[in-house]
């Protein structure tokens, strides 16, 4: 599904779209780092110093720097950088394939999760969305004696912003010595005291829990990242051919990603500001009558109240200078059966922008 709107300015809380300025509440650049002066400068300098890339090899400083900075950010001995976050789940399930026998997957996990698990030759059993009790039943029903399960799920679901109950999953998995893999594309940089994502948020960082993240969203850069120990890195190099068989991420994009990691490491107050903005807007939307739960996730999903047509609401908001995304029924991996509005909250949004959005919404009710 291609975006119909054409963005004509660097990413920010106000955007130029087809000649007009809007308050912008779309996408995934939760700190607006894609439009940040420091990232743009880093990308330009890297292009001047190293060109676009080494053409298939990995021997250029910005690529190494991304892995070094990521391992520090995530508090792991190492990290693997790759050309796209979409590949992260593929890397994990292949790297670990000698360690498990059967895969259990949240039924509305991201496309990248399903593409990854279908590429390993293991039985796959979906379990009900966000439901540890159903997972427990599925494990009981499908695991043979001595078999080890791998559970895989999005940490934060991209359309609804729902948080997977990872602590519950870990408890359910424990008696089987199971493995948890999380596609944390929307969690990394945002959740947890240090921004390490969903595993940190739920306090389940550890041996049997793995995450695949992206630098293309909160970090403002480009490419996927898997933090981990040397053993995981070794398993990746043994079982995954992508790093040797495909070109690395473009070097200017790597340099921008490295700068994004530096900014989020140096400025924890950005996370505080984002969480403050999220709490503020969630509260205001509840005040309007929408069922919006308390959560630190900067993705807010509005479901129809009564017979409200949210696709019409989105159009009206646009006429009033506010851009939010309408997601049609089942229009994306985790999109519900009803049309919804997805609001992305940024650390750079002002309270005035939230108030304008809420007032504009009020006129549509
Ligand atoms: C849940 C999820 N996983 C993976 C990806 C892919 O990440 P990337 O854009 O870095 O390839 C996305 C992108 O939108 C996503 O929402």
pLDDT tens figures, 258-274: 999 999 999 999 999 99
- CA–centroid distance, 144 to ligand 1, in Å, is 33
Provide the CATH topology of domain 14-30+268-364. 3.90.1150
Which ligand 1 atom lies nearest to the CA of residue 88? Answer: 4
CB half-sphere exposure, 253, CA atoms < 13 A: 17
209: three-class secondary structure by DSSP: strand
Distance of CA 52 to the CA centre of its chain: 26
- Mean per-residue pLDDT of the chain: 96
Which ligand 1 atom lies nearest to the CA of residue 214? Answer: 10
- φ and ψ at residue 148, rounded to 5 degrees: -105, 130
Q: In the chain, what are the domain boundaries?
A: 14-30+268-364, 37-266
- CA–centroid distance, 161 to ligand 1, in Å, is 14
Contact 127, 134 (CB under 8 A): yes
- CA–centroid distance, 321 to ligand 1, in Å, is 28
Closest residue by CA, ligand 1 atom 2: 185
Domains 14-30+268-364 and 37-266 agree in fold: no
Q: Region 45-65: what's the mean pLDDT?
A: 93
- CA–centroid distance, 265 to ligand 1, in Å, is 22
Confidence grade of residue 87 (pLDDT, cut at 50, 70, 90): very high
Give the pLDDT of residue 208. Answer: 94
E runs forming strands in 192-293: 209-214, 224-228
Report the CATH number of the 37-266 domain: 3.40.640.10
11, 18, 81, 247, 285 from 61: Cα distances, Å: 26, 38, 13, 15, 46
Give the pLDDT of residue 306. Answer: 86
Model confidence at 1: pLDDT above 50: no
pTM: 0.97
Closest residue by CA, ligand 1 atom 3: 185
Give the tens place of pLDDT for each residue, 166-180.
Answer: 999 999 999 999 999
């Amino acid at each position: 599904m291609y975006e119909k709107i054409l963005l004509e300015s660097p990413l920010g809380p106000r955007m130029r779209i087809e000649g007009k300025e809007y308050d912008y509440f779309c996408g995934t650049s939760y700190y607006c780092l894609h439009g940040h002066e420091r990232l743009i400068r880093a990308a330009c300098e890297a292009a001047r110093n190293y060109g676009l890339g080494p053409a298939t090899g990995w021997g250029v400083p910005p690529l190494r720097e991304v892995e070094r900075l990521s391992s520090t950010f995530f508090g792991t001995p190492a990290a693997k950088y790759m050309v796209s976050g979409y590949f992260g789940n593929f890397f994990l399930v292949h790297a670990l394939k000698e360690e498990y026998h059967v895969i259990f997957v949240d039924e509305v996990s991201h496309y990248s999760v399903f593409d990854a698990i279908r590429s390993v030759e293991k039985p796959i059993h979906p379990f009900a969305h966000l439901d540890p009790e159903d997972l427990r039943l599925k494990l009981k029903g499908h695991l043979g004696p001595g078999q080890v399960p791998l559970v895989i799920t999005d940490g934060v679901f991209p359309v609804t912003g729902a948080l997977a109950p990872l602590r519950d999953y870990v408890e359910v998995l424990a008696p089987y010595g199971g493995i948890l893999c999380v596609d944390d594309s929307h969690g990394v940089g945002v959740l947890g005291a240090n921004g390490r994502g969903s595993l940190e948020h739920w306090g389940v960082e550890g041996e049997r829990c793995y995450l695949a993240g992206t630098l293309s969203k909160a970090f403002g850069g480009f490419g996927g990242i898997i933090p981990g120990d040397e053993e995981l890195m070794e398993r990746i190099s043994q079982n995954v051919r992508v790093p040797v068989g495909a070109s690395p991420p473009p070097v200017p994009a790597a340099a921008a990603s490295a700068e994004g990691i530096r900014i989020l490491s140096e400025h924890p107050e950005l996370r505080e500001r984002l969480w403050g903005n999220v709490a503020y807007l969630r509260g205001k939307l509840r005040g309007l009558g929408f069922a919006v739960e308390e959560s630190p996730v900067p993705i807010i999903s509005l479901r129809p109240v009564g017979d409200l047509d949210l696709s019409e609401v989105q159009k009206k908001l646009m006429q009033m200078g506010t851009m939010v995304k309408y997601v049609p029924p089942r229009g994306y991996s985790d999109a519900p059966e009803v049309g919804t509005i997805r609001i992305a909250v940024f650390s750079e949004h002002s309270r005035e922008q939230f108030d304008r959005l809420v007032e504009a919404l009020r006129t549509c009710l």
